A and B are shown apart, each in its own frame.
Chain A
Amino acid sequence: MALKTKTSTRIGVTILGWGIALWLFFPIFWMILTSFKSEVQAISTPPKLFFMPTLSSYGEVFERASYWHFALNTVIVSVGATAIAVALAVPAAYSMAFLPSKRTRGTLLWMLSTRMLPPVGVLVPIYLLARNTHLLDTCTGLAVVDMLTNLPIIVWMLYTFFREVPAPILEAGRMDGATRWQEMTMVLLPLALPGIASTALLSLILCWNEAFWSLNLTSSHAAPLTAFIASFSSPEGLFFGKLSAASTLAVAPILVFGWISQKQLVRGLTFGAVK
């Protein structure tokens, strides 16, 4: 009886899991499908599931805009912002995890609270700062803003991961004469590498998909893929096929990257969950 219940529960959970996964993936599936339709097929009612696929939307997207220029900007901004954020967050999280003061918790909460402000609330000051420092429409400017936006989350995640590392291991390092820097780079980082990798990956995805600052702080030189997608929306004319093709091209690299590194991501996110 118990075995029967267990089997039926397992089947139920499996179906539920697949159902949720398909439900979440459906918009991406539909976007990819639409990218292979002509504009007339893309707007047909009822929507067509079976049709003669065409690459015309992709052809027009490549003809109208330089995809590689936008993609390169996205890579520079995402990798740059993530690298700087992790470089700053590791020592910050280290000190908070292993050398806490009475203000550590408050500082952590304060850092997180900056995420609660809608970005548009600080658009004017950030825009003026970028203008006055000649960082408008530069990858540097956008990378700095993306880095600052994601820093609180990265510090929080790394703090959580570092807390899972047993303090006696670090103490043993110190007993052997390791300096703080050596303790952090030679003992802590290798131990927390899965967590750091998954944090970096998450930051990379957040930077890749960031649209608000991209649209407001860049125009042509530093415009990333989110601006590339937005440029295919049209106030007068059919554009669903082309917009879907542009979106598919924009998400494809990070989707493939996430797919390849999913093991690392899951390992990192569950780091220390089971002792």
Chain B
Amino acid sequence: MSRLKATRTAICTLALLLTGSALSSAEAAGTLTIATVNNGDMIVMRQLSSEFEKAHPDIHLNWVTLEENVLRQRVTTDIAMKTGQFDVVTIGNYEVPIWAKQGWLTEIKPDAAYDVNDILPTVRDSLTADGKLYALPFYAESVMTYYRKDLFQKAGLTMPDAPTYDQIRQFADKITDKTNQVYGICLRGKPGWGENMAYISSLANTFGAQWFDMSWKPTMTSDAWKATLNWYVSALKADGPPGATSNGFNENLALFASGHCGIWIDSTVAGGLLFDPKQSQVADKVGFAPSPKGPYGKGPTWLWSWSLAVPVSSHQSADAQTFITWATSKDYVKLVAAQKGWVAVPAGTRASTYAAPEYVKAAPFASFVLNAIKTADPNGPTAQPRPYTGAQFVGIPEFQAIGTQVGQTVAATLSDQMTVDQALTSAQASITRALRQSGRAR
């Protein structure tokens, strides 16, 4: 009898627990759910968000931190199925124009005090579709070259003000010292549209290559693409670290920060991490230069911004806009500076940040990054006319799948499973197939 009673009690307790948990999920009015990634700037925003809640006592913030690819998948599902789980989403300038055209994002109309004209024009334009602003930039980045000043000095080398890829290759050859695990060059090799293909697309632009011609026919078998991949593969094989196909941004950051890379070409956001002695063993030995130029020399240039947007499925659009306006405002920059120091303020978005002498003093690379972002032109001309926009990506929905598939093919060349010619022929066929399936090309 007592056993039966115990069983009944256990079942009732369980039912209460589960029911309670179900009821607790009912969203209280005034609670904003924010989906974000685990980047340093986002963590600071989360820590300082209590200030926003103090200023807006009727708005409570609920944070969901997800891995980047999971975030994209979750947010896409949420918006496409109109679930309304998220009120604010963290997305990049790849998604913003595509999602805006789909009608998934709410137009943002900040007031005059926000000073939208203070946002760097290149960044603002990348978040605008049909003349309407659909997201506010939290931080932005372009591309630059990092190098080890001590290794260059030891080898008697000087980094030019505007290096070329031929020079970079020569420098990498000279400073490579594999017996001491010092590798002349580190580049992204991990397959993925946002990993190796972000760098390779950017490299292809300056070598005069492009993804498609005006009739959406892939141009992967062109001489320019062959030259691009030949440079990339031969540089990494001769002077790169072992297992380069496993190295994305974070892995290369770790390699450079621990003294194993001589040159690294990647996002400007790495500057703050490499110059921070708490995170980098080579903080006092890092030099920087612009992204190198290839034979074409021009072409669209890398621009990425992590931005905050409000999906149309949100039931609290007005409160969500209030929050994203606060998180990307000049006052927020000042708040970060006061609480965390100027070096921690979000970079690459506001001209006023770079006008602050305290920031320029705290971040020696500040003016350099500003110039890189101001001159970044993701819509710049390729060697031949093109039907798409974007520098390190192609601004079409199919690119996530195409880019990742080609990324795997390129990685196969690094591990000697394919030659460059075979990889490009294979990429040409797979892209053609993908675009036919999507109906974009005949």
Contact = CB atoms under 8 A, between A and B. Distances in A.
Contacts of B10: 83
Nearest to B37: A235
B38 A239 contact: yes
A60 to B, nearest CB: 9
Contact of B249 (A64, A80, A231, A236): A236
Given A128-B81, A140-B22, A40 B66 contact: no
B429 interface: no
A139 B278 CA distance: 40
B17 A80 contact: yes
Interface string B32-61: 010101111001001000000000000000
A205 interface: no
Contacts of B194: 235
Contacts of A83: 10-11, 14
B281 interface: yes
B24 A221 contact: yes
A79 B280 CA distance: 44
Interface string A195-224: 000000000000000000001100111110
B25 A143 contact: no
A247 to B, nearest CB: 14
Q: Which 5 A-B pairs have the closest CB atoms?
A: A139-B21, A231-B65, A43-B254, A140-B22, A234-B38
A160 to B, nearest CB: 24
A140 B250 contact: no
A168 to B, nearest CB: 25
Contact of B258 (A45, A65, A135): A45
Interface string A62-94: 001100000001001001100110010000000
A137 B254 contact: no
A113 B329 CA distance: 55
B37 A45 contact: no
Nearest to B38: A234
B40 A237 contact: yes
A20 interface: no
B279 A39 contact: yes
A268 interface: no
A169 interface: no
Contacts of B83: 131, 136
A219 B64 contact: yes
Contact of A131 (B19, B81, B250): B81
Contact of A137 (B85, B249, B250): B85
B196 to A, nearest CB: 14
Interface residues of A, number: 45
Contact of B255 (A45, A137, A234, A239): A45
A138 interface: yes
Given A137-B85, A215-B70, A235-B37, A222 B250 contact: no
B8 to A, nearest CB: 12
A167 interface: no
Nearest to B241: A45
Interface in A120-179: 127-128, 131, 134-141, 143
A43 B260 CA distance: 11
A236 B21 contact: no
Interface in A9-35: none
Contacts of A240: 254
B63 A232 contact: no
A76 B39 contact: no
A238 interface: yes
Contact of A43 (B19, B38, B257, B278): B257
Contacts of A73: 21
Contact of B250 (A139, A141, A236): A236
A65 B42 CA distance: 13
Name the residue among A135, A215, A222, A234 with the largest chain B CB count within 10 angstroms: A234
A233 interface: yes
Contact of B18 (A76, A232, A233, A238): A76
Contacts of B46: 64
A38 B46 CA distance: 22
B17 A230 contact: no
A140 B19 contact: yes
A235 B39 contact: yes
A80 B14 CA distance: 6
A231 B35 contact: no
A237 B254 CA distance: 9
Nearest to A46: B181
Contacts of B85: 136-137, 219
A223 B64 CA distance: 9
Nearest to B63: A220
Interface string B377-399: 00000000000000000000000
